[in-house]
Amino acid sequence: MANLILYKKGTDTIYYFLKDCKQKNNIFKGLDKKVTVNLDKFNLKWTTETIDPSKSSLGAKDKYDKLVSQVASLVTFEGEVVDTIEEVEDFALKKIRSRYSEVEEFKILRGKINSTVSATIWDTYNTFTNNILTKAKNYIQEHNLS
């Protein structure tokens, strides 16, 4: 699983480091801590590197020896860490499912075949899905994923 660095926008200083992090909206849960941040004020950097905090003379873990720019990034698609074509495709489908359930999608497709779906519904669906799938295809080509 990927590690996450959270840092304030406009800085190069690590504010939080979360090992094996999972994200849900603006909540980030690592192995040893959970933080909620304002994403308007923080940037994210996903990495496989592990960064240990340095200890002050009082033993507090509040500083890191590396800067954000010194840490290698993982590749992300639409903010999601991905390594394979399958992960990109799964994420693209997840984005589509966030708006259209499988039943709704089949209903629209059947309606298009039978000419019973309105042009507005079809155009909205088609534009939405084509945008996501085009981004996914371009991403896969740009990053030479296999």
Give 53-103 pLDDT, tens digit per residue: 776 555 445 678 788 888 887 777 887 777 678 888 999 999 999 999 999
2-11, 49-58, 95-104, 131-140: least confidently modelled range: 49-58
Q: Which two tokens stand for residue 81?
A: 């860490």
Judge whether 55 lies within some domain: yes
Taking residues 1-7, report their average pLDDT: 85
Judge whether 18 lies within some domain: yes
Residue-wise pLDDT tens digits, 34-62: 999 998 999 888 888 888 877 655 544 56
Residue 68 CA to residue 75 CA, distance in Å, equals 15
Q: Which domain holds residue 126?
A: 85-142
Do 54 and 103 have their domain in common?
no
